[in-house]
Amino acid sequence: MSFEISEHDVLGRIGKLDTKGGALETPALLPVVNPLAQEISPRVMFERIGCKALITNAYLIKRRAGGNEIAKIHDFLDFPGIIATDSGAYQILRYGEVEVSPAEIVQYQQSIQTDIGVILDVPTGSRASKPRAIETVNETIRSADEALKVIKKRDIAWVGPIQGGLYPDLVAHCAREMCKREFDIYALGSPTEVMEHYLFADLVDMISAAKRNIPSSAPLHLFGAGHPFMFALAVALGCDLFDSAAYILYARRGRYLTEAGTLQLGQMTYFPCRCSVCSKTSPDEVRTGSVAERTRFLAEHNLSACFQEIETIKEAIVEGRLWELLEIRCRSHPSLFEALRRTKEHRDHMARSAPSTKTKGIFFFDSVSLQRPEHSMYVERLTRHYVPPRSARTALLVPATRIRPKSPDKSVRDKLESVASGTHVWLYCPPYGVVPSELEDTFPFSQTEGLMDPDLGTVRAMAGTIEAFLAKNRIYRRLVLVRTGEKWQTDFAGICRRVCRKLGVKFSATSDHELLNGRIRILGRRNRYADKITRRRVQQHP
């Protein structure tokens, strides 16, 4: 097996996973196929819906087959694409145990020639106590060691499950231990119950704990991904593969999936979708059919909706707009929005892996957008790596214009050319807080589109950037803020005043009219005087 990455954005990436059954482009959804009862056949999934890979349960097949040998899983399911087989761990979560050992289920998966095999693990679930969670992690690691002893076919891509449930420290520990055993794919287990209870914020912590502790070159699978409205969140956090039975489980309950939520067929007037099945009928017509026909219709639509969301995510990655898509999806449900806010705790990790430049603009909407990697990346570079001019003593903050956010007004720019030595011109514009004028054409400032009337959270973050910058660069003695009369600038000036008082920096605010009428020359003379005083102090106290 090999895995090659061609595009990436945030932590999401488009990759090519080569298996003995063929190549699979990621992110990829593997629909769960129940070998005992399936309303849509795998062949229909492949030919009509374009499903390239699926996952089924090797444990259930083994029990169903009994003494009858199955030569190849592809023939048994009548599916020409890539097949992954689970080991029966979900049955442990539901029923407490399975009648098979880790070695036996590995040998069985090898005998049926699966493409992707999962070893038998012990799911933690969402209700386990910390001691019980520790037991499941230790048992999963022991199971991995037992399975590796009997793995003979290395042409199968073997999956190493990661357990730990709602305890990120245990998830991290399990991930590190699985990496020592060098599996081809790593998979985060136990998210099904977490998602059933809409604990998406906890899911963010679980995925992040796993992602940080596996090789960046390895694919990460999310077991039981569920509803398509959370796919963008999972991909942005670094998941490459998903399996889900939601398409059929929801269909059996008469539920119609969309990228933003779920609708009840019995209450629908129109189909907000033009897939191959929805475009040919109406809700009224579908409701007149039998239960089996309705279920089959909903299952096909739900599966199409899931694949459509995956394609939307891929295009967002190529366009460099995965974060924008993530914000849209997460604002469709309060629990998802809470998960989006939780990413703030992991933004440093996300920033380290995100692209350092982009060819297209990035959007900021409110203070939640500050969590996107580009903002964290810019603030870190500014506060840690940027070196201001040696002669700088006064920082002159000039607002950027609404028409061209990366540049000040032309009349103001002409006036700034006469600034005396010692005055360092900064631009301030939501959401970055401060941009040295010599960096105005660099990424991400020159590619940013944001509100010119930011919310208070963004204003505070802007002032926070200034505070961090001034605290690191103690050469500044004075900060002068130029205002154009917009209301948010009053709040910004007030916060900057408190920041300067805290750091012992003189603060004053002026209007753009005063700047254009010549006050800048006064600032220049004061700066030259300050330079003399500074030089004298350095000579006296080197």
b/e sequence 375-402, b meaning 16+ C-beta within 10 Å: bbbbbeebbeeeebeeebbbbbbbbbbe
Instruction: With H, G, I as helix, E, B as strand and everything else as coil, classify residue 514.
Output: helix
**From 86, 184, 243, 512, the catalytic residue:** 86
75 catalytic, yes or no?
A: no
**Is beta strand 261-264 parallel, antiparallel or unpaired with respect to 255-258?**
antiparallel
d(CA 277, CA 301): 7
- What would the DSSP string read from start to end of 249-264? HHHHTTEEEETTEEEE
Collect all residues with Cβ–Cβ distance below 8 Å to 476 and sequence separation of at least 6: 388, 392, 393, 394, 395, 424, 470, 505
| Parallel/antiparallel/unpaired status of strands 22-26 and 448-450 | unpaired
Distance from C-alpha of 480 to C-alpha of 497, rounded to nearest angstrom? 10
- Would you say how long the chain is, in residues? 542
Dist. CA 15–CA 185, nearest whole Å: 13
Nearest to 399 by CA among 391, 408, 390, 411: 408
d(CA 311, CA 315): 6
Dihedral pair phi/psi, residue 210, rounded to 5°: -70, -45
Q: Among 309, 294, 450, 485, which Cα is nearest to 375's?
A: 450
CA dihedral over 234, 235, 240, 245, signed as positive or negative:
positive
**DSSP character for 400?**
P
- Nearby residues of 236 by Cβ (< 8 Å), 6 or more positions away: 10, 11, 12, 322, 323, 326, 343, 350
User: CA 384 to CA 379: how far, in whole Å?
Assistant: 8
Q: CA-to-CA distance for 60 and 58, rounded, in angstroms?
A: 6
Which candidate, 42, 61, 52, places its Cα nearest to that of 22? 52
| CA torsion, ordered 200, 203, 204, 207, to nearest 10 deg | -150
Q: What are phi and psi of 452, to 5 degrees?
A: -90, 0
Half-sphere exposure of 350 (CA within 13 A, CB side): 31
Q: Among the residues of 157-290, which ranges form H helices?
A: 168-180, 191-196, 200-212, 231-236, 246-252, 283-287
From the CB of residue 14, how many other CB atoms can be counted at a distance below 10 Å?
Answer: 20
Residues annotated as catalytic are 86
